[in-house]
Structure 1
Amino acid sequence: MFFTSTVCSLLTANFLHFYFNLQIKREIATMKLIKHPNVVRLHEVMGSKSKIFIVLEYATGGELFDKIVNHGRMKEDEARRYFQQLINAVDFCHSRGVYHRDLKPENLLLDACGNLKVSDFGLSALSQQVRDDGLLHTACGTPNYVAPEVLNDRGYDGDSADLWSCGVILFVLLAGYLPFDDDNIMNLYKKIGTGDFTFPSWFSHGTKRFILRILDPNPMTRITIPGILKDQWFRKGYKPPIFNEKYETNLDDVDAAFNDSQESHVVEKQEQPAALNAFELIALSKGLNLENLFDIEQELKRETRFTSTCSAKELISKIEEAAKPLGFDIHKNNYKMRLENIKAGRKGNLNVATEIFQMAPSLHMVEVRKAKGDTLEFQKFYKKLSNSLKDVVWHSEDDAQVHTSKLSDQRM
C-alpha cells in the first residue's frame, strides 16, 4: 500500500510539474506573439536550472479593478475609453490566433498615463488548440465573466466568448457591480445561460442597446468585433491604435513560437548578435558543465549547438553556402536564419531555425533547431551541415591534440 501510494504521489507530482511548465511555456509563447499598446509587454525571459525569470512592462497604475473598488462606477465617457482600448487589444489578440479566456478587471492594468494594458495570459488558447469542429472545448475562466456557451460544455468560439467577457466588464465599469451574481453557483449559471440581468436606472438608452448586443446568450447572434467597431455608441471619441512596428509571426508550432524569437518578436534592427547572459548559459548547459556547448558530436535531438571563432557575418555566409546545395531556401533576419526544405518529407517540409549568439568578443555560439518537420530528417540534415562546417567549428587545444592523436593512430 505504501509503495502504491508513493508511486501515485510521484506520478502526480511529475504530472503537475509537467502541466505547470506547459502552462508557463504557453503563456510566454503567447505574450511573445503579442506586441500591442494595450497589452502588457514581455521584455525578456531568462532561466536557470530551477527558475524562470520573466521581465514584464511595469504598469504603475495598478489594476482597473482597484480603480472601481476605490472610486466606484465610472462616467460613460471614461468607461467607453477603457472599453475601446480593451476591444483594440482583444481584436489584435484574435488576429494573432490568441484567445484570452479570462478577461476581467483584475487582469486589466493601467500604466502611468492611465492607458489600459491586458495581462495574465495563463488561461489563453492558441488557434492550434481549436478542434476539428472549429471550437475550443476547455471550460475555464472566472464564473461571473464566463460566456454561457463555455458553461454548456459543447464547445465554443474563442472570439465570441472573449467578447461576452468584455461586455460584462463594460457593465461593471458603468454600474460598479456585476450583471450576473449569486451566492449559489447553479443559480449564477442559470442567470448567465438566459442572460438574466437588470440595468441600473442611470444607463442611457444607447448604452443599454449596445450592451444587450454583447451580452446575447446566443453566440451565433452576438455582435462581433467588426460590428462593435461600427457601432455608434462605441465610435464616440474613438482613436484607433497606432503601430510603429512590423510583425512576423508563424504559428505552425507553439515550440517554434516559444523558442524562435524571429517568429514571435518584433523585427528590430540589430548590428550585433544577441549576447548570452549567465542565466542563459546555465540553462543551456548540463548542470555547470559547459562542455556540451563546444562538442560538435553531441547527441542530436530536436536542437544542437556549436561554437566558432569566426565572425557572425562569416558564420551566416558559411551556413548559407552549406545549406543551399542541400535543397533549402534561406530566410535571413540579422543573425537569425530560417532554412526551409523545398521538398516535403515524412512530416511535411523540414524547417530549421538557426541563431548566432555572442559568448565573448571573439567567440560565438550557433544554435541549430528543428522548427518543423521530422526529427530524424533534421538529424541527417545536421550531420551533412556539420561536415560542411568543419573548418569553422572551434576546438580547444586538448581537442586538437586528441584529434591529431587519432589521425596518427589511423596512419599506423
Structure 2
Amino acid sequence: MENSTCGPYECLRTIGTGGFSEVKLAKHVETGEVVALKIMKEMSVDLELVRNEISILQDLNHPNIVNLIGWSEEAILTQPDGQEIPVMYIALELATNGDLCDLIILTGRFIEDHARYYFHQMLEGLDHLHSQGISHRDLKPDNMMLDDEFDLKLADFGFSSNQALNETRRGTGGYMAPEIYTGLEYSGPCIDLFAMGVILFSMVAGNPPFRESSLSDPHYNLIRSNRIDTFWHAHSRSREGGLDFFSEDFRHLINGLLSLNPHERPSLAEIREHPWYTATIPTKEEMFEELEKRRQQIEESNNQSEEEVPDTSEGQTLYTHHQVQRSPSNPEEEKKETSIKRRLVEFTKEVAKYTRFYSTYTESELCNTIACFCKDYAKEYKFDDEEYKVTIKFEAELGEVDFQVSILKVDEKKRCIEVIKQSGDKFDFIEAYNKVKKCLGGQANTTLNG
C-alpha cells in the first residue's frame, strides 16, 4: 500500500497543517470524490472544537462557505506501514485554487475595485453565518479559500460560536478585536466586523494595518487615541499619490470597521449602504482573468532562477545526520545507527498552492540544500522519518512562524518543493518562503509542464 487510508478515503498527500490537525488531499475509494480531509488524532485533539465545527457546518449551506461533506469521530488511519491510529476526521469541499492571501502577498496588492469584489463575497458568506446566529471568530486571509472559479469561500469554523456574547479568547493575533484582550464579554458578530476591516485593508495595502490591536502596538494605538489621520499618513508614506493612494470612502469604511468601540462599527446592513461598497465591481470574467494572470506570474517567477546552486557539502552532512535514528530501548545499542528509508510522495495537482516550485534535482540533493537553509536560518528543524519533508521553526522580522517543506515526485525526473504554513502570521510565512525559494533558487529549473 503506497498511501494511507482514513475511513472510506485514500489520503493522497498533505495540503495543510494546524495546531491539532492535518489536512490531506483525499479521494473517496468508491465514488472517486476528491475532498479536503481534516484529520485529528484523538489523543491530541480538543474534542469540543471539533464537535463545534461539525455542529456549525451541518447547518450551513451557502456558495461563499466551504461545505461539509462528511465526518467520523471513530475512524482508523491506516498508514503505509500498516500501523493503525484512531482518529477523527471532517471531509470538506475542496477549494482547488488555494487561499486568497498567498496570491495577494506573492503577486501584489489589489486595486480597490478588485478588493471590493472579494469583500462582497466575504460579506455574503458572513451575513449567512450571522443570520443563523453564528459568528466565525477566526476570520483571516488564511481562511479565505478560492474554488475552481476563483470564488471566495469562508473556511475553518473550529472557533465559531452560536452565542450572542462570548468570553473565551479566540482568534488569530492581528485579526483579533481589542475587546477580546480585556477578558470581558464581547459580541461575536462585532469581532467578525473588526477582522473584516483588517482583511480589507490588507488586500488594498498589501500589508496589515498593525500587528495586533493592543496597547503595545504603535499603529493601533493611533486608532485607540483617536489619531486616525496620523494612522493614514503613516500608511501612505512612500506610496504613489500619498494619502490619495487610499480613496476617501475606503478610509472612512476602514475607520468604522477598526473602531475601538465595537458599537461604532457599521453593521453588515450599513456596510451594504456604504458608498465604497456600492461602487463599481469587476465582472466574474474580469476577476477570473486577473487571478489567472497572477497565478501565471507566480509560476513564471519560480522558473529559471538566476541564483547559483549553493555548495551543499555541509548540508549533506547535516541531512545525513538526520537520516539516522538511535535505539533508546537498549543502552548498549545507543550508538547503533539505522538508516531511515523514506517514501517519496506523489505530487497531485488537484489543489493550487502558490508556495511551491519545481526542480529536476533529486530529493536527496534538495534535502541537502534545505539542511543548509536550516543551519543558517532555522530556530529549530526536524526531518521527517517517513517522507521527504522537514518541519522548520523560523524567526521572521516581526514574529515566529512554523512551516513544513515537502519534496514530492512529479515524474521520474521532476520534483515539487511545496512549503506549507503550520502556525504564525501569513506575512511572516511568506518572508520565510521567499528565503527558502532563494536558497533553492539555483535548483528551481523547471515548470510543472516544462
TM-score under structure 2 length normalisation: 0.45
Q: Give the number of the structure whose residues are more often helix, by fraction.
A: 1
Task: State which structure, 1 or 2, has the greater radius of gyration over its C-alpha atoms.
Answer: 1
TM-score under structure 1 length normalisation: 0.49
